[in-house]
Structure 1
Amino acid sequence: MTASNPDHLDPYPGAAPVAPPSVTTRPLARSSTMHRASRPRKAGRPLGLATALAAASLAAAGCGHKEESRYTSVSRPQAVQVVQPTRRTIVRVVGQPSFIESYERTSIYPKLTGYIDNWKVDIGDKVKKGELLAKLFVPELEEDLETKKATVGLDKRRVELAEKLVKVAEADVKSAEATLSEAQAIYGKYEAEVERWDTEIKRLKREVDRGVVDPQILLESTNQWKSSVASRQAAKATIEKAQADLLSQQATLAKAQVDVSVAQADLSVAESEAKRIEAWVGYITLSAPFDGIIVTRNANTGDFVQPSTGDPTANMRSPNLAPGGMAAPIYTVDRTDIVRIFVDVPEQDANYVQVGTKATVLVKAYRDEPIPGTVTRTSWALNIKSRTLRAEIDLPNKGSQLLPGMYAYAKVIIERPGALALPASAFVQSGEKTFCWTYKDGKARRAEVRTGVSDGDWYEVTNLMYEGSGSKTEDPWKPVTGSERVILGDLSILADGAEVQIASPEGENVAGPARTKGDGPAATSVAEKDPEGSTPVR
């Protein structure tokens, strides 16, 4: 009499009545009548009509008709929907509040300590590269420059004098060489006379011994020989003197040549000093480093100025002050033909942001429509404190309407084409790990999954690992191929290894081999029905 028990709850509303667990029932011919008899009679229904219906039912059961037997198991598998990873373009937008900066901002400080003689431009003035902004008054430096220039002129005259002395020394050397040549010729003459008179004396001695020549003639010839020997000795001394003079003149020439080199070196030093002072004098004039606009002026006639260190542009809210507040620049010049916007990209997206990545910049003070652009450059390395990647977007600024300091909201559009992706509802987070449930051989299998880029609704999946899979030599992580069937829905009621069956789009529970219906990323898989539309039992 189970069917008449009002406390019995049907676990599957709309299905055929079933018996308690481990009990199967065969529908009886009188079951409907008994079931109806146990119900309270509704008010207002004629009793005769109920009696007629009951009689008709008994008559139908007793006419020899045999009802088909049906069996249903109460332990029915959980119905689930499945989806397969599909390739799609995942677009992720990284947005950060930012502000506009000029492409270049230069703070102009004086290199020298002095006074402002006069200034030429004021804030808002457009300047060209090299245009005079202001001039300082440093009289002692200008006088030092004149002194250095005079020293250069003096050293040039010294070089000219040294070069002339070289020419004189060269002439003296030539004269000494000529004197030496003359002395050598005279020596040769007397050498020949000595040899002549030596031969003559020997001949006269033989003639005197024979008594042919008078001895007086021999004596006179001997005196001539002695005179020639003396003259030869004198000529030899003259040669030695001429050689010494030549060496002296050659040394004088060498000294004159060295003097020229020394004078030229002194000239080079003087010219270098003059250039150094001239460079310092160049710092008296302050000029524009590039085409831009004057955004700060702290120049007033007669102001005493001095050098300062540090980059004042570090404090963007007060670009006219140095970080330490010790001094202000004379001028600040902004280059505004191009402006820059910074975006700090989180670490998880850093690898997907490259030069050329699409971006947009919204400057509401300029207009309500985002300005399209691209990432111009990245820092490549992450900030060690914030773990973010600095990306810069350059925008042309024709007409200089994008003003430095304006609030902006920049977005970097990360596109990941052809990524195997699953919807966010397919994942379960447990601690720092991400899991999904797959349908495999009629059972639910829990797998840890590695994800990539995400747009919030879809997540790229790259690898998955089943518990207990793999070995010491085999990597347990398997790449996602797109053939996996991933379960969607309420994943909290699933258990690893539990039997499940795929639900049709109409909500019917269907068992058996599954086939995919639909082409979309969230298409479900449905099973074949039996010819009469009944639900198979396990």
Structure 2
Amino acid sequence: MKNTIIITLLIALCACNAKQKPIDLTDGQHANNTKYEIGSVAEKPLAGYIKLPGLLRPFEEVNIYGKVNGFVKEVLVDRGSSVRKGQVLVTIEAPEMESQLQAISSKFVQAQENASASKEKYRRLKEAAKEQGAVAPLELDNALSRMRSDDAIVLVEKSNVDAMNNMRGYLTITSPFNGMIVQRNISAGALVGPGSKGNDVPMLVLQYLEKLRLEVFIPEAYVDKVNLESPVSFVFNALPGSERTAHISRSANALTSMRSEAVEIDIHNKDLQLKPGMYAEVKIPLLSAARSLLVPENALIRSTERQYIIKVMEGKAHFVDIREGLKSNDSIEVFGDLQKGDAILLHASDEIKEGATIK
């Protein structure tokens, strides 16, 4: 019985194998008949705006240094202090300057006395010269020259005194404009002096915050397409949902090393709600007449090394490196060696090689 069952199973297996046939991979039904989808480059107007990041900066900012060498006597403000123009911020003491002022003042007084004596001597000689032969003409001329020389010395000493008084005035540091102290780096007794090097730490940092500058960098591709007449809208990351509008106040008219142009938008900040350093998302309006080259987004091929489009020329694939611009629905703005109407490959992949045949 057992042998009969085994023989039956073997006959069934042989029958199944006889029905199977090997698949011919070269059969025309299984051949690779891939057909590519071809599109074209279109030229259409740009979108109404471009979104760019912006950074708030103070409208005016100054690092305050000591104008002369000395020791800090008193600091009258601190970080966060609101100050007015001309308000005293720091006083400095320099004992050696006081000594120099006294010495110069003494020379000035001495020069005045000498000039007064020379003038009196010349007056007397001139009176005596009215009598014939009383005073020699040469002596009178010498007295006149001496008087004029002493007067000149007086002017020099007076200039020295004025200069020293001006230097003495530098010991009192005042605010150059209305603003707020945002940084303090000194205390009483600190040695300070003129800030001549870029790494010198200022005594104080003063900013004018009632008006701010929103700085935005426009990429080179859009510099000539910005509409300077239309208002700009922006939203600060720290204040979501609060959209504001303003006009572009000024532009640099020059490109930076990053190939972009800086524009500034003045923002009034009377309530001091906004702070320098805040980031914003800015919608820069573009000229409605500006036109750009658009391609379907599925035509772009992106890799870690490059991004490109495959242009079809005479049935062959040619790679064209591009830069991306604005996105609009399923299309994207591109910059590269392309022209309106150029045939491009859609749904392309990086498996296609340069020069491959496209059908």
| Normalised-by-shorter TM-score class | 0.5 to 0.7
Q: 1: distance between equivalents of 2:338 and 2:185?
A: 65
1:342–1:291 Cα change, 3 Å: same
1:392 equivalent among 241, 261, 264? 264
Partner of residue 91, structure 1: 48
1:400–1:382 Cα change, 3 Å: same
Amino acid at match of 2:52: G
How many Å apart are 1:491 and its aligned residue?
9.7
**Any conservation in 1 of the 2:255–2:261 contact (CA below 8 Å)?**
yes
2:74 equivalent among 113, 118, 124? 118
SS of structure 2 residue aligned to 1:115: strand
Matches within 5 A, 1:334-413: 334-353=207-226, 358-384=231-257, 386-405=258-277, 407-411=278-282, 413=284
Partner of residue 65, structure 2: 109
1:152–1:424 Cα change, 3 Å: same
**Any conservation in 2 of the 1:102–1:334 contact (CA below 8 Å)?**
yes
- Bigger radius of gyration: 1
Q: 2: distance between equivalents of 1:83 and 1:284?
A: 70
Partner of residue 179, structure 2: 292
Same amino acid, percent of matched pairs:
19
Task: Give the structure-1-normalised TM-score.
Answer: 0.47
SS of structure 1 residue aligned to 2:114: helix
1:454–1:142 Cα change, 3 Å: same
Matches within 5 A, 1:27-426: 88=45, 90-96=47-53, 98-175=54-131, 179=132, 248-249=136-137, 251-301=138-188, 303-307=189-193, 309=195, 323=199, 328-353=201-226, 358-384=231-257, 386-405=258-277, 407-411=278-282, 413-420=284-291, 423-425=294-296
Q: 1: distance between equivalents of 2:310 and 2:288?
A: 24
**Any conservation in 1 of the 2:215–2:265 contact (CA below 8 Å)?**
yes
Q: 2: distance between equivalents of 1:84 and 1:346?
A: 22
How many Å apart are 1:270 and its aligned residue?
0.9
Q: Between Structure 1 and Structure 2, which shows a larger proportion of strand residues?
A: 2
Amino acid at match of 1:164: E
**Any conservation in 2 of the 1:298–1:329 contact (CA below 8 Å)?**
yes
**1:314-363 CA distance string (max 9 Å, x none):** xxxxxxxxx46xxx433222211111232233232234458667434422
SS of structure 2 residue aligned to 1:174: coil
Q: 1: distance between equivalents of 2:170 and 2:296?
A: 68
Q: 2: distance between equivalents of 1:432 and 1:365?
A: 34
What runs of 5+ residues in structure 2 fail to find an aligned partner?
1-28, 30-36, 349-359
Q: 1: distance between equivalents of 2:84 and 2:338?
A: 62
Q: 2: distance between equivalents of 1:410 and 1:160?
A: 74
Q: 2: distance between equivalents of 1:336 and 1:127?
A: 11
How many Å apart are 1:408 and its aligned residue?
0.8
1:379–1:143 Cα change, 3 Å: same
Amino acid at match of 1:262: S
How many Å apart are 1:486 and its aligned residue?
8.3
How many Å apart are 1:402 and its aligned residue?
1.0
1:147–1:421 Cα change, 3 Å: closer
Q: Between Structure 1 and Structure 2, which shows a larger proportion of helix residues?
A: 1
CA RMSD of aligned residues (A): 4.5
The aligned length equals 311
**Any conservation in 2 of the 1:340–1:392 contact (CA below 8 Å)?**
yes
More RCO (CA 8 Å, sep 6+): 2
Task: Give the structure-2-normalised TM-score.
Answer: 0.67
Amino acid at match of 2:274: L
